[in-house]
Structure 1
C-alpha cells in the first residue's frame, strides 16, 4: 500500500505509539453508541424513547464540563497515571450501564462514562503532538481523526445488531478496548517537555479561542445529524435497528477512508483553508441528508458530513495543540470541551425544530458550519506546517511516529 493511502506507525525503541491512535476510537464510539438503539433501551428499561435519547446528553455534559480542566489537571497529576485510572473507571462505567435496572441508573452510568473519557482524549492528542515532528503533525492528527471516525463507524455497527439480541451487549466491546489500552499503555510524554506545572495563562490566546468556537459549532451540527438522520431513517423510510446502524456507519466509514488525505492536505495548505473547505462540505452534507428523496441520498449526506467532521477534528486539534507549548493537554481539553458542549446541546436544539418543521428543521443544522466560516478569518496564521523554527528544533530528536 502506498504512502498516499495510509499512515505508517514507526516508533523508535522504547516508544509505544499505536495505543495513542487506538485510544481515539473510544470517545466517539461511546458518545453515540446509544443513538441506534434508543427504542430498544427505552423498552428494556420501561421508559420512553425521548428519555432514552437523553443518554447522549448525559454522556456529553460531564464529558464537556470536565474537559474544561481535565487536561491541565492531568498534566499536574501525570499523563500516564491519569490515563490508566481513567481507562479502568471507564470499564466500571460500561459495567454499570450493562447492569442498569432502570433509566435513572442507566443515565447516571452514561454520565460516568463521559466523565472518565474527559481524562483520555485530550491526553492522547497532546502526546501525539509532543512525539511527532511538526512537519508531519497534520498526518498524525489525521490518523488520530481517522480512528475517531472508526469509533463513529463501529458504534452503530456494534450497537445496532446488539439491540436485535440485547442492547446491553453493546457495552461489552468498548469495555474490552479500554482494558486493552490499560494493559498496553502508550508513551505519553516526550523527553523534552517543559519542566514545572502547566501554565493556565498560556491558554488565553486567540487561536485557542477560535478552536473552541469551531469545536462547538462542528459538533452542534454533527450530533444533530446523527440524531436526526436516525429519526428520519425510521420515520420516512421505515428502517429497523440493523438497517439504521448500517446507514449511520457511513459517517465513520467515510471519515476513516478520507483521514490520510485530509491530514496531508492540512500539512500542505494549513488550518484556515482546510477549515473553510470542510465547513462548506459539512453544510452541503447536512442539506443533502435533510432533503434527500431516498435512502441513498440520505446516506450520501451522512458520508459527506463524516468526511467534513474528520477534517475539522484534525484542523481544530492542530490549531489548539499548537497554540501553546507549555500546556498542550490543557489546550486540547479546553477545545474538546466546547466540542462536546455543542454535541450535548444538539438534540435539545434540533429535535424540536425537526419535529415542528420537518426537513427544513433538519436543514437548519447547516447554520452552524456557515457561522464557522466567519470565525476562520480570526486564525492568526495559515502557513502549512513545514517544520523548522523553535518547535522543530526542540523536537528534532523525537520519535518519527508517523510517516
Structure 2
C-alpha cells in the first residue's frame, strides 16, 4: 500500500484542471503547477532523502513523513487560493520523497536477489494502481467537489502512518556513503531516467489535458481514460519483473525504453476519446515496464546504500515528470500531435544512455 500513495497523490489533480481553473480563476498553465509543485521538491529532495532516511531510521522517518503528508493534504482541501494550494502540494511532495526509496530499500534486503525483479514488479503494480485510482477519484471529485479528493488522501496517509516499515537509526560508524552516487554509471542511469520521465513516461498529463480540452469529456470520463494505462501497468507489473530476472538489467532496460518510445508515439494518432483510451492502455504497459527496470536498477547498484541510490535515481525521474508539463502543455495547446511526438522522442535519449551502461 505504500507504493500506492505516491502516484495517487501526484496524479489526483489531473482530471480536475478545469475545476481548479474556475475555483482559483487561473490559467491552465498556472493550474498545471499543482502537478509540478508536488514533483519538483519531491525530485530535488530525493537526491538525499534515501540516505538521510537510512541514517535516521526507516521506521521513524516514514511515520513522520506520512503525518506531514496528512497535514499538507488538509491544507490542500481547505486552500482559499492557488498560492496556498501550491505550497501545500509542495509539502506533499517533500513528504513523499522519503517514502518510496525507503520502502523499496527494505524490500531489497528481505528478498533473494534472483527474485527481486518479480517483487519490484508487484510493488510497481501497486504504484500503477495508485496512479489509476487517482484520476478516478479525482474525476468523480471534479464532477462534484474537487476538495473531497484531498480529504481522501488525509485518511489514507494517516492510516499508513500507523504501519511504517522496520528500520532503526544507524550508528555513526555505519552511515551510508553519498560520494558513490556521483559516479558515472549512476549519473548515466539518472540522466536516462530524466529523459524518459520528461518525455514518454510523463505523457499521462498530456493524455489528461487532451481528454478534457481536445475531446471534451467529463472529469470522470477523463479519469477512466487515464485508468486504462494504469490497469495495463498494474496487470503487467509482475510479468515485467520476471522478464527482468530472466534477461538481466541491461537488455531489459534497453528493450523497455525502445517499446516505451514506440507505443507512446502512437498516441499521436488518436482522433477520439475511445482511441485515446485504447492507445493509452497499450502505452501504459510500457510505462510500467520502464518503471520496474528503473526502480530495480536503483535498488541494486550500491548495496551499502540502497535507499540512497534509489532515491537519487528517482529524483531524476520525478524532476523529469515535474518538468514535462512545463515543456509540453504550451505545445499541446497548439498541437496535440506535436506534443505527443515531441515527448516520445525523448525516449531515444534514454535508449542511448542505457545502451552505454
Category of TM-score, reference length = shorter chain: over 0.9
Q: d(CA) in 1 for partners of 2:281 and 2:248?
A: 24
Report the 3-state secondary structure (helix = DSSP H, G, I; strand = E; otherwise coil) of the residue aligned with 1:199.
Answer: coil
CA RMSD of aligned residues (A): 2.0
Q: d(CA) in 1 for partners of 2:229 and 2:43?
A: 22
Aligned to 1:233: 211
Q: d(CA) in 2 for partners of 1:136 and 1:224?
A: 28
Give the TM-score of the pair, scaled to structure 1: 0.84
Whether the 8 Å contact between 2:200 and 2:346 is mirrored in structure 1 is: no
Q: d(CA) in 2 for partners of 1:123 and 1:36?
A: 30
Question: Does residue 361 in structure 1 map to residue 339 in structure 2?
Answer: yes
Match of 1:45 among 24, 34, 46: 24
Question: Does residue 202 in structure 1 map to residue 190 in structure 2?
Answer: no
Q: d(CA) in 1 for partners of 2:152 and 2:110?
A: 29
Whether the 8 Å contact between 1:218 and 1:309 is mirrored in structure 2 is: no
Match of 2:301 among 323, 326, 341: 323
- Superposed CA deviations along residues 354-385 of structure 1, whole A, max 9, x for unmatched, are 23333123211111111111112222xxxxxx
Aligned to 1:9: none
Q: d(CA) in 1 for partners of 2:214 and 2:96?
A: 35
Larger of the two Rg values belongs to structure: 1
Q: d(CA) in 1 for partners of 2:150 and 2:101?
A: 23
* 1:235-274 mapped onto 2 (5 Å cutoff): 235-274=213-252
Higher helix share: 2
- Superposed CA deviations along residues 21-63 of structure 1, whole A, max 9, x for unmatched, are x101111111121111011122123333331111011111110
Cα offset, 1:304, TM superposition: 2.4
Q: d(CA) in 2 for partners of 1:134 and 1:347?
A: 36
Report the 3-state secondary structure (helix = DSSP H, G, I; strand = E; otherwise coil) of the residue aligned with 2:199.
Answer: helix
- Superposed CA deviations along residues 65-122 of structure 1, whole A, max 9, x for unmatched, are 1111111111111111101100000000100000101111000000110011111111
Worse-matched range after superposition: 310-319 or 272-281: 272-281
Cα offset, 1:325, TM superposition: 1.5
* 1:2-41 mapped onto 2 (5 Å cutoff): 22-41=1-20
Cα offset, 1:224, TM superposition: 4.3
- Superposed CA deviations along residues 164-191 of structure 1, whole A, max 9, x for unmatched, are 11100111222222222211223347x9
Give the TM-score of the pair, scaled to structure 2: 0.95
Aligned to 1:151: 130
Aligned to 1:389: none
Aligned to 1:12: none
Report the 3-state secondary structure (helix = DSSP H, G, I; strand = E; otherwise coil) of the residue aligned with 1:186.
Answer: coil
Q: d(CA) in 2 for partners of 1:237 and 1:280?
A: 28
Aligned to 2:284: 306
Report the 3-state secondary structure (helix = DSSP H, G, I; strand = E; otherwise coil) of the residue aligned with 1:184.
Answer: coil
Whether the 8 Å contact between 1:194 and 1:326 is mirrored in structure 2 is: no
Q: d(CA) in 1 for partners of 2:119 and 2:172?
A: 22
Aligned residues: 357
Report the 3-state secondary structure (helix = DSSP H, G, I; strand = E; otherwise coil) of the residue aligned with 2:98.
Answer: coil
Aligned to 2:96: 117
Q: d(CA) in 2 for partners of 1:90 and 1:223?
A: 25
